[in-house]
Amino acid sequence: MLWKKDIDVAAWVTRFTVGEDYKWDTLLLPYDITGTLAHAAGLVSIGLLTPEELTQIQATLADMGVEIEAGNIVVRQEDEDCHTVIESYLTEKLGDIGKKIHTGRSRNDQVLTALRLFMRDQLAVIVAQLVEVTNACCALGDTYADAVMPGYTHYQRAMPSTPALWALGYAELLLSDMTALQHAHSQINTSPLGSAAGYGVPFLKLPRAYTAEQLGFESVQTNVTAVQLSRGKLEMHAMHALVQVGATFNRMASDLILFNTAEFGFVTLPAAMCTGSSIMPQKKNPDVLELVRANYHRLMAEMQLLLTLPANLPSGYHRDLQLTKESIMRGLLLTQDLVQAMAQVVPALQFSTENMKKATTQELFATSHALEKVLNGVPFRDAYRAAAAELADRQDDDAHNLAAQYQVVGYPGQTDPMPVRKALEHHKTWLLDQAKTTR
């Protein structure tokens, strides 16, 4: 029997129930301070704290913030959570004033307030990072607009492409990913503060709209039962957007790993993003890109937790939901690492125009030959067969003629980074708006 072993049961229970939550709560300390300051201002507005007491709380928490920034205050396992650390600090410094700070709050709405503030900031950071990567893709579009390379389907050479088209295709996906992140930001930007343990607070007329405005939230979850019902669900909005980012970079990394092989030789990766072998002196391994590719699956695993963990739980709070916090925080920080990796890799990519040109063989232009016949009145299916039969005998240097063969913007030889750059302005404006709102 577990309980018959020679073990301190209370210590074991603390370790098991707290888990690694205290480590994540250390990251939430500054956000919990922000939420506490707004809550304290709300208590002043309903006469439960005096303006003078608020001033003391503000000064004390400012000092605490400095200590946190210096690394002198962290959440320990025995503290259990960041809320305890803050309340204990205020009580130690201010006595009875500190004891008042939890009035009208539960750790349930307190942690969600801090977590949503954290999520809001981190989503904006990721959007800013993606703007950087998208700009780098546009720069590749400028540099390699006329450089031909094979395009592939089923791992077989299919039709001509260009590095510019490759890069701008990913840039367009990243624009979509940024939109998804901004939508998730809007979904989670609603205030849970004042819902307490999920059923409101008797007697106290907490100014929920006021504290939401103080914290820059766009709205309030009015019916307080919605707060715990949305736990894990709102995090899912954010995680789904993070998975979209991971999916884009998973395929970009796969392309670059393949293009970097000696068999392809299309691209040279930055040396700083590669590692060596412990036994093979010649090796230059694309480890960073391989981990970018692999960590998409870790994001998927976190999304699976958020999808399934709240399922079948009755309404109200359950300790099961504690795990959703770690999941979304881990996902946010991991995604930042993935984007940062690509922000280092993409600007430093060097495509080999010579190797790509060698690989751009005549079969890539079979569709072009068929459609050229169509323009001369041959039915497509007849042109298709004729082009296939003539392929071995053609010697034309079609690779120099992409701009003549393709007439539509966004086709090989007809790329233009400007539409992507214009679309990026919307995302830059959004970032500026968020900075103003949350300042």
Q: Residue 271, Cβ neighbours under 10 Å: how many?
A: 9
Quote the strand ranges of 192-329, DSSP E: 219-220, 267-268
Token readout for 225 is 């039962």
Question: Could you give the dihedral angle defined by the CA atoms of residues 406, 409, 414 and 417, in that order, rounded to the nearest 10 degrees?
Answer: -170
Report yes or no: 344 and 291 within 8 Å, Cβ to Cβ. no
Q: Is 254 annotated in the active site?
A: no
Question: What does DSSP say about strands 156-161 and 190-191: parallel, antiparallel, or unpaired?
Answer: unpaired
Handedness of CA 60, 61, 66, 67 (dihedral sign): positive
CA dihedral 154→157→159→162, nearest 10 degrees, is: 100
* Residues with Cβ within 8 Å of residue 234, at least 6 apart in sequence: 116, 187, 188, 190
Tokens 């692999």 appear where? 294
Q: Distance between CA atoms of 75 and 206, rounded to whole angstroms? A: 28
CA-CA distance, 158 to 165, in Å (whole number)? Answer: 15
End-to-end Cα separation, the chain, in angstroms: 54
**C-beta contacts of 373-380 below 8 A and 24+ residues apart:** none
What is d(CA 124, CA 368) in angstroms, rounded to the nearest whole number?
Answer: 44
Of the listed 88, 176, 219, 277, which one is catalytic? 277
Q: How far apart are CA 167 and CA 141, in angstroms?
A: 6
SS3 content of the chain, % helix, strand, coil (to 5): 70, 5, 25
Tell me the two tokens of residue 18.
């707290």
β-strands 190-191, 219-220 pairing = parallel
Does the active-site annotation cover 277? yes
Torsion over CA: 47, 48, 52, 54 (sign)? negative
Amino acid 95 reads G
What's the token pair of residue 167?
């890069």
Active-site residue list: 154, 277
